[in-house]
Amino acid sequence: MNSPTVFADNKGSIDVQLTPDEALALTGVEFNGNHKIKTEAQRKIRNAFEKTFEFDK
């Protein structure tokens, strides 16, 4: 994701539904080495971001 991004007014919001464990993992809480929880949360956020904003190619 190193391409320029177009933000309409920088005031948009992104709605993402995370499980409580996913939200905690994003704050730095570790779940006995289970990195899948954090990875899944990051994937959800990335997908929502890409659906919300346009990227120049």
7 vs 49, more confident: 49
DSSP per residue, 14-50 = ------HHHHHHHTT---TT-THHHHHHHHHHHHHHH
42 vs 7, more confident: 42
Distances (CA, A) of 32 to 5, 12, 21, 36, 37: 36, 35, 12, 11, 11
Query: What are the structural domain ranges in the chain?
Result: 19-57
Write out pLDDT tens, residues 10-52.
667 888 999 999 999 999 999 888 889 999 999 999 999 888 8
